[in-house]
Amino acid sequence: MADTAAGRLDPASAEALRTELVAVVVAVVDGLPQVLTSAGEARLPSGPLQSQHRSMQAGLRSWVEQQTGHPLGYVEQLYTFADRDRAGRAGRVISVSYLGLTRVVDAGAGWRSWYDLFPWEDQRGDGPAVVDDVIAPMLARWVSSSDPREQLVRRQRCDITFGRGAQPWLPDLVLQRYELLYEAGLVAESPAPADVTVPGERMEHDHRRILATGMARLRTKSQYRPIVFELMAEEFTLGQLQAVVEAIAGQRLHKQNFRRLVAQQELVELTGGVTRETGGRPAQTYRFRREVLAERQVAGTSLPVVRSR
């Protein structure tokens, strides 16, 4: 921007600037993490911050309910995106994003599996095949297309983010994996995408990047806070709890280790009821001990992600 002689900014050079509120709303239905999209479109619920909104969170709740008909429950601020030239947006858009967690029985219109958008993140089933058979060869070509010094840097990034070579797969590196694919031109949102891109549905603007940030936050936070219970029904079996944790982490867990960790941290208590919905023998039902939030406010509590391999 050019300064005037009086030291003021020249209005003619001022950049268009607006603030947008974006929601990453997550539920788990039938073992799949679902993200809420706006009216079935390939974008997250969002809208501009307006003068009548008493707060940004109030504005966000209003936009989500208007666009999806779904009221929000648990909400926390996620991240503020303010980069220039964000995915072809006109003018300068500052996006203040929020993570919301809710419970739904049926994923109807507007809900889509986040593994349709990020298939490589589901390491419970086909995710490893997507990485080994599709993504790894594409990244190998991207690495070899650079000069020798840059090849080493690129190879190290690929190994760390996608768990190649001797590196472990780290569930919380969701954003780093997406940004690497974006830089390599392997996702449809890339400025200059390759002729063939990796599997995964495209989203408008940079909403897939914002969703990746929300996924990473949820995976990370669930390891030190019992946030996963915001996705559970009031009563549940330990098998259902494990299934939700696995769905969010994208990894299988060792059953006995998981149950021992839950028992050690005294996160749940028996309701005295049973259910036959799981098939086989009746299973005891539990509820989350909300007192644990006050008991361990300082020390923290969690449902650690235990790797089974």
Q: Is the pLDDT of residue 137 over 70?
A: yes
Residue 72's pLDDT band (boundaries 50, 70, 90)? confident
Contacts of 151 (CB under 8 A, 6+ apart): 143, 144
Tally of CB atoms within 10 A around 58? 12
Q: Which two tokens stand for residue 57?
A: 């969170």
Check residue 305 and give its pLDDT.
58
pLDDT reported for residue 238: 95
Q: Which of 3-7, 71-75, 97-101, 175-179 has the lowest mean pLDDT?
A: 3-7
Least confident of 119-123, 189-193, 217-221: 189-193
Checking phi first, is residue 272 left (phi over 0); if not, alpha (psi -120 to 50) or beta? left
Cβ atoms of 232 and 241 closer than 8 Å: yes
Per DSSP, the residues of the chain read -PBPTTSPBPGGGPPPEEEEEEEEEEEEETTEEEEE-GGGSSS-SEEE--TT-SSHHHHHHHHHHHHHS----EEEEEEEE--SS-TT-SSEEEEEEEEEE---SS--TTEEEHHHH-GGG-TTTTHHHIIIIIIHHHHHHHHHTS-HHHHHHHHHHHHHHHT-TTPPP-TT-HHHHHHHHHHTT-STTSSS--SS--SS---STTHHHHHHHHHHHHHHHTTTS-GGGGGS-SSB-HHHHHHHHHHHHTS---HHHHHHHHHHTT-EEEEEEEE-TTSSS-EEEEEE-THHHHHTTTT----------
Residue 3: which pLDDT band, with cuts at 50, 70 and 90? very low
Mean pLDDT of 264-268: 89
State the pLDDT at residue 304: 57
pLDDT for 106: 75
Domains of the chain in start order, with CATH, are: 15-114 (3.90.79.10), 124-199 (no CATH), 224-295 (1.10.10.10)
Q: Which residues pair with 124 in a beta bridge?
A: none
> Residues 76-83: what's their mean pLDDT?
89
Q: Can you tell me the distance from the alpha carbon of 174 to that of 200, in angstroms, rounded to the nearest whole number?
A: 14
Q: What is the pLDDT of residues 87-122, one digit of tens each?
A: 555 667 889 999 999 988 777 778 999 999 999 999
pLDDT at 255 over 90: yes
Mean pLDDT is lowest, of 40-49, 207-216, 262-271, 293-302, for: 293-302
pLDDT at 298 (0 to 100): 42
pLDDT in the model for residue 170? 95
Residue 309 banded pLDDT, cuts 50, 70, 90: very low
Whole-number average pLDDT of the chain:
86
State mean pLDDT over 3-16: 50
Tens of pLDDT, residue by residue over 20-70, are 999 999 999 988 999 999 876 889 998 888 888 888 988 888 888 888 888
Q: pLDDT at position 8, please?
A: 55
* Average pLDDT for 178-191: 95
If one compares 38 and 284, the residue with the highest pLDDT of the two is 284
Cβ distance 202 to 122 under 8 Å? no
The whole-number pLDDT of residue 100 equals: 93
Average pLDDT over residues 178-186: 97
For position 301, what pLDDT does the model report? 53
